[in-house]
Amino acid sequence: MIPYHVQVLLTNVPNIEEVSIKELIELDVKKIKGIGDKYAKVLYRKGIKKVKDLAKLDSQEIDLPEKIVTKWIVAARIIVNSQKVRRTGKIIFSGLSQAGKTSIVYVLKSIVELPTVTMGVKQDFIKFAGHNIQISDMGGQKRFREIYLTTPDLYFERTKLVFYVIDIQNKKRIDDSLEYLKRLLAIYRYLHEKPFISIFFHKFDPDLSYNLKYDIPPIKEKIEKIFSHYTEFQYNFFYTSIYNPPSIYVGIASTLSEIFPVMSILDVLLKDFAELHGFDGLLIMDSTGMLIGQFIRGEQESLVEETYSAFKEARKIEKNPFGNIVLRKNIADPPGGEIVVQQIFLPHNDGFIFYWKKEDTEIDLSEYMLSEITKTLNPWLYNLLS
């Protein structure tokens, strides 16, 4: 069935509920609401005939008002991104014992007590984009690992995502951890499963990061060599620490977006709005601090930490029922510039949108501009997060 948030973007599509997403992206561009015959002719002359063609376009390539063209492009990209249908499947936290898997889950759930040893597999839930996502925290003691590997169909079938956690402070166990990773990949190949693998170089604590950053490249090189023998798997890397919660939030949210299409769609929306209004970054967080959408121009990892700092300050301010500006914060280099934080209202909980410009001059945000941006974003947020 075609999702509702896709149906509302189109017009004059007979029996739309019976049409597949693959068929939708081949539709004539004039089927996108608001284009029609007149504007379609302008697009045809540029070789833009189908929805999938429009999704690849830059708004500046068409001699029409940029705001109108941007709206069409966003609609087309949402339709194309909807091919990434969210399917049910397991999300697994795996690795050796004491690697920090349960501590990561505790950070996500805002639990401050010390974790206990995980005996076997513990089912839990984390919140993402307003939804409860079930995860499996797999105890890493050797006796449990052997049970998992000898009955793989019970523990690993239908896996969509694996967070593989490596304790980079425990150098004596690195090789054991990489060997276990290799055995996991072999099991998934045997089961004909292709989960996305996210490698967390964990316990990358701020006070030790200077020394640890020299230890990681050789480990990373060994992991890449392992994956060279298992080319069917996609993977990425993150540096995480419970003493730097943003590092965990970003790693989790970025990886969940691989199987959860909400973020990829929101990122497209935010990129287009940022470019249209001249921002260097736009980010959205829910009330728990989970990053559910972002666009940042260039490599600005430090901006995410600044954003979380602003998030903590904004949460302390009394809520504004009108959603006006909550906080302005000047930030030093890098990344420099100013962040403006505005409260927004999401389907399942409140959240915040962060506007960033790296120029030293104060961001000129009128109440009109703020209301226009949130007025345009809110319908998408409600459709995508409900």
Neighbours of 320 (CB within 10 A): 11
Whole-angstrom CA distances from 256 to 101, 133, 135, 158 are: 16, 10, 11, 16
Reading the block at residue 318, the tokens are 């009394």
Phi/psi zone of residue 18: left (φ > 0), alpha (ψ -120 to 50 degrees), beta?
A: alpha
Question: What's the number of CA atoms in the CB half-sphere (13 Å) around residue 118?
Answer: 29
Do 212 and 94 share a structural domain?
yes
Residue 205 lies in domain: 90-256
Residue type, 91: I
One DSSP character per residue, 98-115 reads TSSHHHHHHHHTT--SPP
Half-sphere exposure in the Cβ direction for 371 (13 Å, CA): 5
pLDDT tens digit string along 61-82?
777 777 677 778 877 877 776 6
User: How many independent structural domains does the chain possess?
Assistant: 3
Predicted local distance difference test score (pLDDT) of residue 86: 45
Lowest mean pLDDT among 151-165, 183-197, 212-226, 349-363: 349-363
Euclidean distance between CA atoms 206 and 254, whole angstroms: 21
Q: What confidence score (pLDDT) does residue 349 get? A: 67
- Residue range 95-116: average pLDDT? 83
Higher pLDDT, 187 or 134: 187
Q: Which of 256, 272, 297 is the last residue of a domain?
A: 256
Name the pLDDT band for 320 (thresholds 50, 70, 90).
low
Same domain flag for 68 and 109? no
Task: Quote the pTM value.
Answer: 0.67
Collapsing DSSP to helix, strand or coil, 26 comes out as: coil
pLDDT beyond 60 at 85: no
**What local confidence, expressed as pLDDT, does residue 379 receive?**
65
- Same domain membership, residue 59 and residue 155: no
- pLDDT at site 186: 94
Cα distance between residue 307 and residue 340, in whole Å: 10
Lowest mean pLDDT among 301-315, 320-334, 335-349, 370-384: 370-384
CATH code for the domain in which residue 74 is found: 1.10.150.20
Strands 90-94 and 131-138: what pairing? parallel
Write the single-letter amino acid at 237. Answer: F
Percent of the chain with pLDDT over 70: 82
Find the CATH number of the domain harbouring 354. 3.30.450.30
Q: Are residues 240 and 101 in the same domain?
A: yes
pLDDT given at position 321: 64
Among 33, 67, 83, the domain boundary falls at: 83
Higher pLDDT pick, 370 / 220: 220
244 and 219 assigned to the same domain: yes
Q: What is the mean pLDDT of residues 168-181?
A: 94
- Rounded CA separation 92/96 (Å): 13
Same domain for 237 and 314, yes or no, is no
What is the Cα Rg of the chain in Å? 23
Which pLDDT does position 244 carry in this prediction? 85
- Is the same domain home to 69 and 117? no
In this structure, the answer to whether residues 366 and 242 fall within a common structural domain is no
For 301, the token pair is 């990892």
Last residue of a domain, one of 200, 233, 256: 256
pLDDT at 87: 46
Q: What is the pLDDT of residue 267?
A: 77
Q: 15 or 178, which is more confident?
A: 178
**Are 234 and 370 members of one domain?**
no
Q: What is the mean pLDDT of the chain?
A: 81
Residue 216: name the closest of 173, 171, 163 by CA: 171
Binning pLDDT at 50, 70 and 90, where does residue 5 land?
A: low
252: domain CATH number?
A: 3.40.50.300
Query: How far is the C-alpha of 32 from the C-alpha of 48, rounded, in Å?
Result: 13
| pLDDT value at 25 more than 90 | no
* Greatest mean pLDDT range, 32-46, 123-137, 340-354, 362-376: 32-46
Which pLDDT tens digit goes with each residue over 221-277?
A: 999 999 999 999 999 999 999 988 888 888 887 787 766 665 667 777 788 788 877
Q: What is the pLDDT of residue 281?
A: 87
Q: What is the pLDDT of residue 180?
A: 94
pLDDT on residue 206: 84
What pLDDT is stored for residue 203 in this prediction? 92
Q: What pLDDT score does 348 carry?
A: 63
Q: Quote the pLDDT of residue 323.
A: 66
Q: How confident is the model over 144-149, as a mean pLDDT? A: 85
Residue 136: per-residue pLDDT: 86
Residues 313 and 357 in one domain: yes
Tell which residue, 258, 262, 256, 257, has the closest CA to residue 78. Answer: 262
